[in-house]
Structure 1
Amino acid sequence: MIRPRDPEESMVATEQEWLREYSLLALRVNRQVTESAGGTVLIYRGPQEWSEQVDGEEPIPAGRLADDADALLDESPFAPDRARYLAAQLTALRAVARRLAGEDLPLREYARECLGVSAEWLPEEAFQQAHDLLDAALPRGAGSLVERLHAWQATHTLPREQLARLPALVDRAVAETRRRTNEIVPLPADEVVRCKLVPGAHFRAAGDYEGGLRSTIHINTDLPFNLADLLYVVAHEGHPGHIAESMLKERLLVGEQGRLDQLVRFMLAPSFVISEGLGLHAESIVFPDDEAQAWLTENALAEQGIAGDGSDFAAIHRAQNILFGAWANAAFLAADGRPEAELAAYLSRWALLSDAEAGAALGSLRAGGMALYVLGYFHGWRLLDSWLDATDRTAGVRRLLTEQLLPADLEPTV
């Protein structure tokens, strides 16, 4: 005799099947992006049999994947708050599938569908204000602003022949950023974060949460490493940035609440706008005011023989965050088909990048999905900049690290 299920049991079965179809859709869209443009746009830690199923099947036409997203949007079995969060991720998957199917969405509309933000061309006056901030924060001296910035960077750069020392410095910074993050939200004591030096990457640094209590911070050895940026980079990629967010949300949302979708993280989606905004604020969250500079002077710069020069690291990093808006404008230029020389000149003029940095930036913009993803840096930073100032900062950071939030959740209410 077959026992009929009670309503609560039926709902659980329906939710699990929906999550399976959601996961398969994300894997299928990511496969098409990877095969068409190169590079993954999905962080997947779900059941291996689902990824093996997608790897072994014939590719499904992108138009049908968009239809599958519509069907899942119509059939969501979840309570309103969770359904709203998942709908935003599905809307992003559907937009990417439509684009893969040949639909020509302007970048502004594409960003609204995928990232959940209104991304417009940013006025250069904002970048000029960042230049003024840099002018006051950098050591006085001869030369243009960009020359002074590059001279400051060179003064604080770890010599290439000493790059082997960088993992130990990263380890030291990880310990301190973890200690300070633990004061905001408890972290597992036996977590392990290692540093790996990698050449030829299209990123400056990347934090990779590997599951359980293990993570790796990857550093691109093709680019000079500025020791004044050590905490800026490590806090962004590690704690309270990407690694802390990934680990805490997986432990809390998946381990305690069974939210399997947290294991299926589509990167061209609203959640990553918040993640990158958190990353860009990470250093200032755990090192307010001049605390990062004081720690670096004592724990990294002095032993390298780098003396104080009157510069203001916190102001320099804030200016750099604002100048991610110039990267966003470059993404619009790229979407308009402007030549690479024009993009490089724009990034040099407004983001104050060197030729090598501009070349690396163009490589990032060319990677699959990155012309869209790069919009999330500035818009995520600006969104959190206002929100963190308007809320209890500690409670706000705790929410960012433990809750599934959308950009709309952080918009001011009128």
Structure 2
Amino acid sequence: MRITLIILCLLATLMGCQSKTIHTVEDTPMTLDNLAEQYVKLTLAVGEHHPYYIDAYYGPNEWRTGEKRPLTELKADITALLEQLNRIQSSPELAQRKAFLQVQTKSMLTFIQLINKEHISFDDESLRLYDAVSPNITEVELDKALVQLDTMLPGSGSVSERMNQFIEQFVIPTDKLDSVFKAAVAESRKRTKQYIELEDQESFTIEYVQDKVWSGYNWYKGDSFSLIQVNTDFPIYIARAVDLASHEGYPGHHVFNSLMEKHLVNGKGWIEYSVYPLFSPMSLLAEGSANYGVDVVFPHAERIQFEKDVLFPLAGLDASKVEIYYQVQEVKQQLSYADNMVAKRYLDGEINDQEAVELLVKYTLVTEKKAQQRLGFIKANRAYVINYNLGQDIVKDYIEKQAKAGTHAEIWALFSELLANPKTASMMQ
């Protein structure tokens, strides 16, 4: 009897041990839903090592543990997850979901290398984090725009100096900034809602902040709510009202995140879209679509008219100068890849801080103080700069190649479809 009891106790102990088996990534059943859950948890864990890696999260609260796991351990689990994603068979309708998870998961391994301060060239970092490589722009190409601006801008001095003198007359007075910005947001929201159905409760709050390396930021909180922050460290020019309202709000980041939550997280139960890692392929679409969306919501002629009728008067600026202001802005846009050129050379160790600032002053046509802020952005966010200009061009080409009639309604339909069903850069090629 005593022996029988001992055996029974041993069996009970063994069964108890079996019931406490720890499940690793490899042990998790291989379904896309389970792998997506692992992806979210690992993304959040990587975010514990960087204050801005997690741009937005509205999944289960208990998944955000606050535990700072060793990077070597995270790397092993991410590698295992990627191997499972590569092995799993998916139906044709889920192929894009799988591909998105694969590309996003790969980017985490690269970001861990950056956290560990491992050297990665600018182009490799761009490709591995954002799924795209910026064209190799040189001064010779950028100088063409400078020559054109040289003939347009009055006064004497360098093109950069004259540009800054010229745009001084288009600064929004501090006491009028809130009313101008809110008018721009209201108009972009009204126009967007004509083509995109948003949740009834969608809303946002605007804050004016200082001491940031960016000019505007959307913090998406979930449930179709955003906090939009506008940096007032430097003068805000009238063109930035529509740009920021559309880029951060409608149909930019606020709408993009709202549609992902509505269609993918709530509609399909694809939990991977409840987390947005900033330094990942998702950002190229986020920033590129937000920039392209400015022209979608405000076609050039309509933007000119709206600014002339509404924003310039609200800001107390001379509305008769709208046309010349935007003619100069259009030429200046040809210099948009200057940021990428400077960032590439700086991060690859070809130029120092002072040389980077000088190039930014010359080719982005800003003051030295503003150039120093921009260099601060490059230091903090590295290859992220490609997402604005290259992202915009990739999104524009993708949508306009699909457009058959080229009508405004068709462009809106293709644009909103892309926001609701995101693609990375390679998927849009």
Q: Give TM class, smaller chain.
A: 0.7 to 0.9
**Structure 2 CA distance for aligned equivalents of residues 126 and 389 of structure 1:** 25
1:282-338 Cα offsets, whole Å, 9 max, x none, are 221111122212111211212433112264455545445443311111211221233
What TM-score, normalized by structure 1, do the two folds share? 0.86
The one-letter amino acid of 2:307's match is: L
**Structure 1 CA distance for aligned equivalents of residues 32 and 419 of structure 2:** 25
Structure 2: tracts of 5 or more residues without a match: 1-27, 404-410
In the alignment, which of 101, 104, 108 is matched to residue 89 of structure 1? 104
In the alignment, which of 328, 334, 346 is matched to residue 334 of structure 1? 346
**Superposition CA RMSD, Å:** 2.5
Q: Mapping of 1:346-361 within 5 angstroms?
A: 346-361=359-374
Asked if 1 retains the 8 angstrom alpha-carbon contact of 2:44 and 2:54, the reply is no
**Structure 1 CA distance for aligned equivalents of residues 287 and 332 of structure 2:** 14
Pair 1:147 & 2:157 matched: no
1:336-373 Cα offsets, whole Å, 9 max, x none, are 23321111001011111211210210121222xx1121
1:216-258 Cα offsets, whole Å, 9 max, x none, are 2211111111123210121111111111111111111111111
Change (3 A) 1:282 1:410: same
Task: Specify the structure having the higher radius of gyration (Cα).
Answer: 2
The one-letter amino acid of 2:427's match is: D
Asked if 2 retains the 8 angstrom alpha-carbon contact of 1:88 and 1:270, the reply is yes
The one-letter amino acid of 1:256's match is: G
2:5 maps to which residue? none
The one-letter amino acid of 1:148's match is: R
Of residues 253-262 and 91-100 in structure 1, the stretch that sits farther from structure 2 once superposed is 91-100
Pair 1:262 & 2:303 matched: no
Counting aligned pairs with the same residue, the percent is 23
In the alignment, which of 59, 67, 85 is matched to residue 46 of structure 1? 59
Asked if 2 retains the 8 angstrom alpha-carbon contact of 1:66 and 1:95, the reply is no
Q: Mapping of 1:197-216 within 5 angstroms?
A: 197-216=208-227
Change (3 A) 1:298 1:344: same
In the alignment, which of 229, 233, 244 is matched to residue 222 of structure 1? 233
In structure 2, the residue corresponding to 1:290 is in which secondary structure? helix
Q: How much does 1:12 deviate?
A: 9.1
In structure 2, the residue corresponding to 1:32 is in which secondary structure? coil
Q: How much does 1:183 deviate?
A: 2.4
Asked if 2 retains the 8 angstrom alpha-carbon contact of 1:114 and 1:268, the reply is yes
Change (3 A) 1:186 1:133: farther
**Structure 2 CA distance for aligned equivalents of residues 245 and 353 of structure 1:** 30
In structure 2, the residue corresponding to 1:153 is in which secondary structure? helix
Structure 1: tracts of 5 or more residues without a match: 1-10
Q: How much does 1:264 deviate?
A: 1.1
Q: How much does 1:400 deviate?
A: 2.5
Q: How much does 1:27 deviate?
A: 1.6
Of residues 11-20 and 286-295 in structure 1, the stretch that sits farther from structure 2 once superposed is 11-20
Pair 1:104 & 2:116 matched: no
In structure 1, the residue corresponding to 2:374 is in which secondary structure? helix
Counting matched residue pairs gives 387
Of residues 265-274 and 331-340 in structure 1, the stretch that sits farther from structure 2 once superposed is 331-340
Q: Mapping of 1:126-205 within 5 angstroms?
A: 126-131=141-146, 134=149, 140=154, 143-160=157-174, 162=175, 165-205=176-216
Q: Mapping of 1:386-397 within 5 angstroms?
A: 386-392=397-403, 393-397=411-415
In the alignment, which of 75, 94, 97 is matched to residue 84 of structure 2? 75
**Structure 1 CA distance for aligned equivalents of residues 201 and 173 of structure 2:** 32
**Structure 2 CA distance for aligned equivalents of residues 48 and 133 of structure 1:** 54
Pair 1:309 & 2:314 matched: no
Change (3 A) 1:29 1:134: farther
